[in-house]
Structure 1
Amino acid sequence: MKKMIVTMFVLVIALMSACSQASKTASPSASPSPSTTPSDAASAEPSADPGKEAPKVAFVYIGVPGDGGWTFEHDKGRQMVEEKFGIKTTVVENVPEGPDAERVFEELAQDHDLIFGTSFGYMDPMFNVAQKYPDVKFMHATGYKTLPNLATYQGKGYQPGYLAGIAAGMLTQNGKIGYVGAFPIPEVIYTINAFTLAAQSVNPDIEVSVVWSNTWFDPATERQAAISLLDQGVDVLANYQDSPAGIQAAQERGVWGMGNDSDMNRFAPETYVTNPVLNWGPYYVEVVQSVIDGTWETHSYYGGFKEGMVDIAPFGKYVPAEVIAAVEAKEAEIIAETFDVFTGPIYDQAGAEKVAAGASLSQEDILVMNYFVKGIKGTIPE
């Protein structure tokens, strides 16, 4: 018995040593630089290479993965990094946008090589800390400020947002659609505009009423914002928040509902339509690989359907086949680049022309959009 115990002890120690050694030396084979599409990176399988040590990687979240939306999808990407490279990442959850975020980033910068900040409001804190730690790589989701060691990335949410708008336009019976916005920042504004333009492509007389929750994840507040629109008689309700509170309120009223960021079908299966989905994992794998290879450079990355960074969630069980067919047809046009969401003529709420007929907005113009298109009821706060 003693010999068996000793033998088992030796085997356990040997296995622990092997696992520890593997975690230090496992790194992937050559993969694309940040200019390559995430879909290419997804197929890059890592292999052990003792000459290249994986970086220490950290992720900072505005909420928790249990939100079922934005942070949930970022965490899926983080898990892909751990699986691909055989490393353990650091995660800091529930970090509010503001001074506390700067403290968190500074603490992480002292013993990490690569830090991902996953909320727009982290922009200035990350910018400040990046200047102090030039040897640390910082990746900011949805921002626009860069440095030699600070890059930005985001998905073209207006593309699946447009497809969701087609579905909403085909499903509404009274022409009244509601949209609960999160914060009045460009990424939310241009997604609401794309959604509205798409609904109007089905019926030019459709109106989209917008209210703001001024939250990313606050189910109680988001539910009340949704109810305020449902009380106005909207028969399709879209929501930009990370929680499913809005689509759950819609289901209680028997109204079609759409969430955001992740497949939310399970939260309101009786009235769920679809919604934009973000896929961060392949890009995260690509960025970590570039750090390992020594090819990382600052950049501003925008991935859409073609790159595999955005998608549309599977449709709800009661969505008519003709709606699904129309959405899939338009998705094919976007991927083939034969259709551009923001092609004119486009007018703002006051009727002023913002995009001339036949012209299309540049990516730079989209990313600073600060107006609502014609047909939206609601205002953008200062």
Structure 2
Amino acid sequence: MDKKRRDLLKGMAVTSAVVGAAGWPGLGVAAQDKPLKIGFVYVGPTGDFGWTYQHDLGRKAIVKALGDAVKTTYVENVAEGSDAERVIRELAAKGNKLIFTTSFGYMDPTMRVAKQFPDTKFEMCTGYKLAHNVGTYMPRFVQGRYLTGLIAGHMTKSNVIGYVAPFPIPEVIRGVNAFTIGLHQINPKARVKVVFINSWFDPGKERLAAETLINQGADILNKHTDSPAVIQVAESKGVYSFGYDSDMRQFGPKSQLTSIVLNWEPFYVETAKQVLAGTWKSRDAWYGFAHDWIRLSPFLPAIPKDVVALVEKQKQAIISGGYEIFQGPLRNQAGKQVLAQGATLSDNDVRNMNYFLEGVDGQLPKS
């Protein structure tokens, strides 16, 4: 993305997609006098080609599917913290009856505003707190992380994988660990070097971290950040990479092995339908390949066919419920066993993961 476009995106405060005011006949409910107003709060710009870009595709899917029954508004580049609470409250005060808050740092602000607007429905992405009018949702992206680990285990020559990460929170930690599990099933000698940049979207920091990791011997780069900067560095330096959020191969046609694509469209459309029909209920939604919440983009032709076949086989095993990623024995960085042979981690344990596994080089804050 050129600087002019990035500056334009950052300067945009609020953009709306508005569609008529009639009811939606395909829903099987009476036509409404007014459309359902739906608000979205984004942590980055819609043009990040990653996390926020994918969420906004989900918003557009609502408009396409429900037409005149909805009116959607989004606010982008909203910092986590007090700014988020102000924006969420303003959206609720303006009559948005369904609000999607799309970053982990929005969790507590969402809960506070939800108490003040009990008749508004809130959906909090990647959070874990629920209320009668607050639900949570998150893709099981660890499934994709594990599969990309299998690929990395076959493709690395240096046995060093660089991983550009935003914050040391469970969402990020479990992704690193799932990737490492897949990596070590193929190549137990390989190491994952993690660099935290303390930002979801900062192309400059992402680029610098990627270059640092290559200088430390990484011949494959992975990431949990939102811009394509890591992919662009990999392309320019002649190393492989994995995309995240969206298919980023346009930025790394020779480097991106595959990308974990997050597909928000099914959940967003279904949730809007539920609110229109009056059937919405608070719940914790956490789905993966089986519900089409995540996908893998087309594989780079450089990946051997037998590796692609293995990945597809393991993907089907995950979908069928016949394979658990987090199964013992597992040891943490210090070599201490955290999961015994034959045991598996519960969803709650996975979602609250606060330690790196053996094979990961990276520092976590001490609790």
Which TM-score applies when normalising by structure 1? 0.88
Pair 65,129 (structure 1): closer, same or farther in 2 beyond 3 Å? same
Structure 1: unaligned runs, 5 residues or longer = 1-19, 31-47
**Is the 2:166–2:225 contact (alpha carbons within 8 Å) kept by the matching residues of 1?**
yes
Match of 1:234 in 2: 218
Pair 307,101 (structure 1): closer, same or farther in 2 beyond 3 Å? same
Match of 1:75 in 2: 56
Instruction: Render the CA deviation track for 1:102-161: whole Å, top value 9, x for unaligned.
Output: 011111111111000001100111110000110111110000111111110000110001
The answer to whether residue 99 in structure 2 is matched with residue 101 in structure 1 is no
**Is the 1:143–1:153 contact (alpha carbons within 8 Å) kept by the matching residues of 2?**
yes
Task: Give me the whole-angstrom Cα distance separating, in 1, the residues matched to 2:137 and 2:232.
Answer: 31
The letter for the 1-side match of 2:163 is Y
Higher-Rg structure is 1
**Is the 1:176–1:234 contact (alpha carbons within 8 Å) kept by the matching residues of 2?**
yes
Task: State the 1:27 CA deviation.
Answer: 4.8
The answer to whether residue 156 in structure 2 is matched with residue 158 in structure 1 is no
Match of 1:23 in 2: 21
Match of 2:14 in 1: none
**Is the 2:150–2:185 contact (alpha carbons within 8 Å) kept by the matching residues of 1?**
yes
**Is the 1:27–1:52 contact (alpha carbons within 8 Å) kept by the matching residues of 2?**
no
**Is the 2:44–2:201 contact (alpha carbons within 8 Å) kept by the matching residues of 1?**
yes
The letter for the 2-side match of 1:302 is W
**Is the 2:160–2:220 contact (alpha carbons within 8 Å) kept by the matching residues of 1?**
yes
The runs of at least 4 consecutive aligned structure 1 residues that moved more than 3 Å come to 20-23, 51-54
Structure 2: unaligned runs, 5 residues or longer = 1-17
Match of 1:253 in 2: 237
Match of 1:45 in 2: none
Match of 2:107 in 1: 123
Task: Give me the whole-angstrom Cα distance separating, in 2, the residues matched to 1:68 and 1:324.
Answer: 26
The letter for the 2-side match of 1:84 is A
The answer to whether residue 257 in structure 2 is matched with residue 276 in structure 1 is no
Give 3-state SS (helix, strand or coil) of 2:244's partner: coil
2:353 is aligned, of 351, 362, 369, to: 369
Give 3-state SS (helix, strand or coil) of 2:47's partner: helix
Task: State the 1:93 CA deviation.
Answer: 0.8
Query: How many percent of aligned residue pairs carry the same amino acid?
Result: 45
Which TM-score applies when normalising by structure 2? 0.91
The answer to whether residue 177 in structure 2 is matched with residue 193 in structure 1 is yes
Match of 1:84 in 2: 65
Match of 1:146 in 2: 130
> After alignment, is 206-215 or 364-373 more displaced?
206-215
Q: How do residues 2-81 of structure 1 correspond to structure 2 at under 5 angstroms?
A: 23-29=21-27, 49-50=30-31, 54-81=35-62
1:356 is aligned, of 322, 340, 345, to: 340
Q: CA RMSD in A?
A: 1.6
**Is the 1:139–1:151 contact (alpha carbons within 8 Å) kept by the matching residues of 2?**
yes
Task: Give me the whole-angstrom Cα distance separating, in 2, the residues matched to 1:54 and 1:146.
Answer: 26
1:202 is aligned, of 186, 191, 196, to: 186
Which structure would you say has the larger RCO, counting Cα contacts within 8 Å and 6 or more residues apart? 1
Task: State the 1:52 CA deviation.
Answer: 8.3
Instruction: Render the CA deviation track for 1:316-350: whole Å, top value 9, x for unaligned.
Output: 24333222222111111111111111011111011
